[in-house]
Structures are given as C-alpha cells and as structure tokens.
Structure 1
Amino acid sequence: MPTTSHPQTSDSVFPAHTPLVTEPLGLWGSFRAARRNLLGILPDLAVRQPMVSGRTGLRWHMVMDPDAIRRILLENVENYPKSRATKNILRPAIGDSLFIAEDAHWRWQRRTAAPVFSHRNVMALAPVMSAAAQRSIARIHESQGRPINLMDDMVRTTFDVISEVTFSDGDTFDSAAVHSAIDAYISAAGRISLMDMVGMPDWIPRPSRIFGGPAVQQMKQVADQAIEDRRARGPSDVPDLLDLLLAGEDPETKRRMNTSELRDNILTFIVAGHETTALTLAWSLYLCAFDPQVQARARIEAQQALQGDPNGITNLPFLRQIVDEALRLYPPAGILSRTAQAPDTLCGREVKAGDTVMIPIYALHRHHQLWENPNAFDPERFADRKAINRYAYLPFGDGPRICIGASFALQEAILILAHLLANFEFSLVEDCPPELVMILTLRPDNGIWLRARPVHDASE
C-alpha cells in the first residue's frame, strides 16, 4: 500500500496527499488495500488517463473524463444507480432514505425534502451556525497555544449545528448517541467486503455488517419515538428540520413521509450533514496553516465581513475559494460507485451490464489534464468558476442526485471558518502531519493537529 507524503512545514511544496499505486495489485492485494484505505486501490493512471478498466472478480471502470462523467450522472443517469456494495453497506443504518433510494421512491422523497433546503430556510440558520462557532472559539482559547486536534473540534461544532437545526425544542432525543451508533456501525461495516469485490449475491450475509445491529436498532427506536412525540406535540415556535419534514409533502402526489421514512432521512442528514462539513472545515484550517499568506488574506476578509454582521456570509469570496479548494484536494466522498444496468459506451470503451463504474473524485480533482499543478494548494484557481469544467469538479456530485444539502454545507463551512480565522492565527504542528484514509469518507486518520494563537496575541 502506498505511503502518504506530508509537508513538515509550510515551506513544503504540496500539502498532504497520497501517491497512487503504479503496479497491479491483483484480487487479494486490492482487497487488502481497500480494507485499509480505499485510496490504496487508485492507480496512478487515474490522474493521467480519461478511463482505466480492469477486473478484480467483477469488471470495473474508473472514469475521469468529464464528458463521460456527465453521461453517467446526468444524460444516462437511470442506467447508473448507486452500486450494490454502497447500498448493502448503508441500508441497515439509514434504510431507503434519499441517499439509498432509486427511481420513483427516490423522486418523491427528493420532491418532498427539497423545500426544506431552500435558500430562505438555509439563510435563516446562520445564527445557529455562528453560535456554534463561538462555542468552538471558547474551546480553542482553552488550548493556550498547545497543539489541538481541530478535526475533533470541528466534528463537535458541526454536530452542535445539525443537532440544533434538527431537534431544537428539547426533544428527548440523544443525538450524540445516534451519531455514536451509526459511526460504530460504519467503522465495522463500511469496509469493502471480499464478497462484494467478487460479486457474490446480496442475500449472502457479510459478517462485518452484522456487527452493530442492536445499537442501530435501538437508535432507530429512539428516533421513532422522538418523531411521534413531535407529531403529537406540534411544531416548534421556530420550525426546525424535523418540523419542515413533517409538514412537507410531495407537490405531485401530496404524499407525506411516514415515521420510518422520516427517521431514515433524519438520520442521514444528521450523520452526512455534519461529518462532511467537519471534514471540509478541518482541511480548510489545515490548508490555511499550510499557507500563512492565504490565511492572512482570508483573515482580513473575515474580520471586515463579520464586523458589520456576525452572521454575515454574503461577502466572503476568498473564503469561498479556500473552501472550494479544500473540497478539491480533500473531497469528503472520494469515490462514487455505480453499477451499470445495461450496456453502454464510455470514452469509446464498452461497458457491460453489471459492471462497476467508479468516479474517483480524489483522482478527478488531481487529474493532470484537467488541473494545472493539481497537487498544489491554490485557491486562486477558483477566482473564475466559469473557467472550470463543470464535470471536473464534483465535491457534491451532480445531476438530479446532486447533494441536497450542498448549500447548507457551504454556508456552514464558510461562516464557521470566517469566525475562526477572525479570532486565531493557525500554524502547523511539526512532525504531526495528517494521514489521508478513505473508508466511506476521506478523513485525516490521525486528526488535524494545529496550534491556534489568538489574533491579538499574534499582532503583539
């Protein structure tokens, strides 16, 4: 398995990245690498060629060509549902929620949930995000210049946000226990199974996915009770996510979500809605520490914007560029996996029904034909978004299944980042670089360790 290269100081050329494999791994080698870190199966050819194909039990294709990706995600999307392995991993925890469902069952849920994430509703959540940022600032102050794991604190901060916007009225719902139960399940069940790689039928149990079942079932029962209690009590004075989903209905069929459908989608939003944003924030802070000049410029912008409005997020273009670049270098969803339903042609190559078709976002975002100096941290590349090929940059996917919470995640990341940079100067911790590991999401396996110095101290 490849090792991860890291900068030891801000003078290093590139921020943390993983060199890709240059030799065929074979079935057993691929299985061992994928169990440890999915980045370990990505070939170096994936950042240099438009498409790479092979067979590891099942036939597979990695697609990095923007036109072919557009076909997969938009033009012929019905032919490329989420892979069976992805569904098998997640369904026991989040059921047939928006993330898993297909066809008509997905469409009516999407229509029902879309208004919840309208621009108006998302903007109204800015005070909740700012309040969570202030609590983070207080915790960081307590470090008094000692190294602090910002990954852990960003998880706590974004979990504060998603908990408040989901269950804001004092429900007897232990959201932390919900996250713990799902995280335990994913840690055990989220790793690739050899049975999946060789294409064994879904009805054959995967031993690792039996683990954590009781905790997940108990979590679902608690969530169901909280939903029924809210349904009986009525909405909060200021509607939260649960209220909006309870009131939501499919504009075409007038169908509303039942308790199990509400629960599966709430659990999906709680887990996906905070971890991906926490990762984006932690990587953004790491990159700012990596490049002090970028950090200084971002701090000026943040301080000026927040002086007029502590919830201000409308005039932070450079912070948006930093977040965009963090999502390019460290996309939370590092690989999208699909299963072809019928024969197709991608990049002039035959794709057969049953083939696994992967879009390795990590490789796509570092492709040498699509990005100049792809491993470098350069937020200026996003100064002109129109110059970037739409299907070369996919942190939230695209097409009809683009992430429903993308605007929520971006607003939260930019606003919290602004508060933190306005208050602290962050620096790298020598000999403690982040290590990239991807199971279901791309994480810093050993955390993001930085020093945080209050800005008023740094100026003295």
Structure 2
Amino acid sequence: MHPPSANVNDRLPPVHVPLATEPLGIMGSLKAARSNLLSILPEIAVRQPMVSGQTGIRWHMIMDPGAIRRVLLENVDNYPKSKATKNILRPAIGDSLFIAEGAHWRWQRRAAAPVFSQRNMLSLAPVMSAAALRAVDRVAAAGNRAVDFQDEMVRTTFDVISEVTFSGDGSFDADAVHRAIDLYIAEAGKVSLLDMLGVPDWVPRPGRVFSGKAVGKMKSVADEAIEARRKRGASDVPDLLDLLMAGEDPETAKSMNTSELRDNLLTFIVAGHETTALTLAWSLYLCAYDQDVQERARVEAQRCMSGAAPTGEEAAKMPLIRQIVDEALRLYPPAGIISRTAQAPDVLCARDIRPGDTVMIPIYALHRNHMLWDNPNAFDPSRFADKKSVDRYAYLPFGDGPRICIGASFAIQEAVIILATLLARFRFELVEGRDPDPVMILTLRPDDGVWLTAKPV
C-alpha cells in the first residue's frame, strides 16, 4: 500500500504500466501485446514527440499535439482507422459510427448527433442516479469486506445503459448481451500476429472465430428488441432506442434500418458501460490512494446534493469531482492507443509518412509525456482546474476532431453522478497487497479488479 502523504511529490505515484526499454521485435511485440498492449510502448514515447520503427509494417507513434491535430482534424481523411482496429471490432459492431468511414460515417453521425444533446442527457440523469443508489445499497451490504469496484462499477453502468437504451421493457436480455460483450473483449480483442504483419482481413483470426457464437447471440438479442419496439412504439419519455429510431440525417432524410440500428446500439452499449465503468473504478482507486482529495470531494458532493443523489444540473456544479474524473481519464484512458493507416504521403514532425504506414496515437504515453505534463505520473486533479491551460491535443480521453466520441457528455455526467453519490456516503481505502494492475487488451482494465473497503461516513 502506498504511504499516505498530502504532497504528491513526496510519495510513490499511483500504479502504472512499465514501458519497454529495448526493442521487442515481431515475436516479442506479439507476446507483449497479447498480455498487455501498452507494454509494447517504448519508454522514450513519454519523453519524445514522435517514435518510429518497423515490426512487420512501418509504424509511427506521435505524441506531438500539432501532429496529432493534423491526423485527427486537419488531414483526417488521410488517416482512417487501421485495419487491425476494424478486424477486431467489425464482427461485433459492423459498420457502425465507430467503424464506418466517409459518407457512410457522415450520415450516421448527423442522424445520431441529436440523440446526445444536452437536453436529452439531463433527462437521463435520474436513471444514472437510481443506478448509483442501487450501488450504494450493494456496497453497504458488503459491510467491512473488501469489494471489487471494477465489477461493481460494470454492474452499475450496465444498469444505466440497459435502462436508457431499452427502458427496462423486458424485450432485452441484458445478461446475455453482457456475457457476450465480456467474452468478445476477452477473446477477440487480443492482437493477432496476422494483424501486425498486415495479412488480409479475410484470413481468419482464431480468437475472433471462437467468439463468433457470442457475437451472433448478442446481435440476435438486439434485433429482437428493435423489432419489438417497432411494434410497441415509442415510450412517453423516449429512451436511446426511441431517439435513434426517430433520428434521420438532416441533409438526406435517411434513417437507420434494423441492422444499422443494431450495430450502433451495440456500439453504444459496449462503449457506454465499459469505458465509464473503468473511469469510475480508477477514480475510486485514486480517491482511496489520496485521502485528502477524497475528503475534499466528499465535502463538495454533500454540499451540492439536495437529495439522495445529484441531479444533472447539480452534477455540473461539482468541479473537484469532475477534475478527479478528468485526472483518472488522463492516467488510465480506457482507449490507451488510437491506430490509423495513412492513405497518402504526408509529413508529421518533419518525418515522412508513406501510404500504408500505421500511425498510432498512444494516448497512455501522450497523457504521461514529460514534455507536456508536470510530474506526469502523479495524481493531481488540480491540473484540470483551468481547462484552458491544458493543450487540447495533449489530452484525448475521447479522441478529437470530427470523430470525437459522440457519447462523451453522457459518460462524464454518469461518472460524476455515480462518483459523487458514492463519495457522499463512504470512505474508500486501499486493500494492502491488492493494488490494481493496469492491463490493456481492448480497453485499459485493472487486472484482477480494484479492491477497496468502503466505510460509511
């Protein structure tokens, strides 16, 4: 357990991933990537603006905000998502917003954007608050026993996404979809040597074949729920599915068919609970790591909450809790690496980029780069007290540019509501000898959970 100290400069930093200090080669990279994708990152990536190499294919890691801006915004059409990313995700979420490119992506984005308006997000806050209170009851029932808050937050955020997606109308087998998601992430998310060597998409990847049955079940459950909703009609208070079914591209008046609805729903379900659950688990770990920050956040939550859990409006008035969430996303970004494939020649950081090169934005290394952050491995929520002081392209938990995560406001509001509700009622403490181990397969998860004790306050 880390020794207590109020000064972030006088204590060991929170847990982090040891980065590579020597070249790994193809087989070494494959072995490392299949156990923890972040372990392929070279240590110099946290001290340099760009690192290049060749492991089967030419690759470049960019940590320079100007170069990142060019990839994600200024020359975005030249850098579509990499084949490896599409190979991993397409079997589960098809050509949804996350995968689609060009005109097919643009019309879906235009049709879905109104779903995530501020008004709709505020209307979903009561669902988030209710799920947070159910989590409070489960944590209280555990008494003095240590709780795995990774599992607890996955359950809580899945409660939220199930309710806001399907209004709990009984047409959706949440448990079946949850099991399928876990299996797919565990098996299909593992990097294949065939991906690293640039082998064509049609060659089967063993893990992804294995998880195919689970994916098929997940898709059939979603299809059945969509057809049931078509017959039943929209709810008095529209949920996510109602809003998506009613959405249309304002330029073409095109709306989503059943397969497009299903692929996007599954995208939102996977992203809408997995990433927020991780953010919450890491936030609670960091609060347990720094009791001073936790106590100040508790005072803020108790002061701002007028009821048992905060409203959407109240959640927007908790700056410290929001800063804790932001800092957790900096230290443990759920998507630790963004990967793109260059389509045409370009220049980044005065270095030539060739067609077919893989261009990676290792967000984990970007967020810990010594050229961009003071004391980058330390937990210091105050670095987000003035958002204008943070370079926009040095902090990318939700990506940026036209493909910035469409559900970012949903995730932040949910994380603040749930974290504030828990902190208002419990004091969280680390369990000696059970510090979490950050491991990235598809997302950056705490291997073997986040084990904490929770004492009523």
Please classify the TM superposition score into its range, dividing by the shorter chain length.
over 0.9
Aligned partner of 1:435 in structure 2 is 437
Of residues 13-22 and 247-256 in structure 1, the stretch that sits farther from structure 2 once superposed is 13-22
Render the CA deviation track for 1:187-240: whole Å, top value 9, x for unaligned: 111111101111111221212210121221122122111101101111011110
Q: Is the 8 A contact 2:165 2:241 kept in 1?
A: yes
Partner SS for 1:392 = coil
Aligned partner of 1:4 in structure 2 is none
Q: In 2, distance between residues paired with 1:29 and 1:332? A: 24
Aligned partner of 2:38 in structure 1 is 39
**Which runs of 5 or more residues in structure 1 are unaligned?**
1-6, 456-460
Q: In 2, distance between residues paired with 1:216 and 1:38? A: 23
Q: Is the 8 A contact 2:45 2:369 kept in 1?
A: yes
Aligned length: 449
Q: In 2, distance between residues paired with 1:218 and 1:285? A: 33
Q: Is the 8 A contact 1:281 1:413 kept in 2?
A: yes
Give 1:121's aligned amino acid: N
Aligned partner of 1:3 in structure 2 is none
Partner SS for 1:62 = strand
Aligned partner of 1:166 in structure 2 is 165
The reply to whether residue 310 of structure 1 matches residue 310 of structure 2 is yes
Aligned partner of 1:260 in structure 2 is 259
Render the CA deviation track for 1:86-134: whole Å, top value 9, x for unaligned: 0011111110000110000000000000000000000111111110000
Give 1:260's aligned amino acid: S
Alignment of 1:349-388 (within 5 A): 349-388=351-390
Q: Is the 8 A contact 1:185 1:216 kept in 2?
A: yes
Alignment of 1:282-321 (within 5 A): 282-307=281-306, 310-311=310-311, 312-321=314-323
Aligned partner of 1:220 in structure 2 is 219
Render the CA deviation track for 1:404-431: whole Å, top value 9, x for unaligned: 0000000000011000000000011111
Q: In 2, distance between residues paired with 1:395 and 1:435? A: 20
Cα 1:169/1:21, change in 2 over 3 Å: closer
Aligned partner of 1:144 in structure 2 is 143
Cα 1:115/1:342, change in 2 over 3 Å: same
Partner SS for 1:415 = helix
CA drift of 1:16 comes to 0.6
CA drift of 1:346 comes to 0.3
Aligned partner of 2:448 in structure 1 is 446
Q: In 2, distance between residues paired with 1:206 and 1:345? A: 33
Give 2:447's aligned amino acid: D
The reply to whether residue 416 of structure 1 matches residue 415 of structure 2 is no
Partner SS for 1:443 = strand
TM-score using structure 1 length? 0.96
Partner SS for 2:393 = helix
TM-score using structure 2 length? 0.97
Alignment of 1:17-56 (within 5 A): 17-56=16-55
Identity %: 71
Partner SS for 2:253 = coil
Partner SS for 2:210 = coil
CA RMSD of aligned residues (A): 1.0
Aligned partner of 2:115 in structure 1 is 116
Among candidates 397, 400, 403, match of residue 399 of structure 2: 397
Cα 1:56/1:303, change in 2 over 3 Å: same
CA drift of 1:8 comes to 3.7
Q: In 2, distance between residues paired with 1:132 and 1:331? A: 23
Q: Is the 8 A contact 1:60 1:357 kept in 2?
A: yes
Aligned partner of 1:58 in structure 2 is 57
Q: Is the 8 A contact 1:10 1:289 kept in 2?
A: no
Q: In 1, distance between residues paired with 2:278 and 2:93? A: 21
Alignment of 1:104-253 (within 5 A): 104-253=103-252
Among candidates 326, 343, 346, match of residue 344 of structure 1: 346
Q: In 2, distance between residues paired with 1:344 and 1:211? A: 38
Q: Is the 8 A contact 2:162 2:168 kept in 1?
A: no
Aligned partner of 2:8 in structure 1 is none
CA drift of 1:146 comes to 1.4
Aligned partner of 1:458 in structure 2 is none
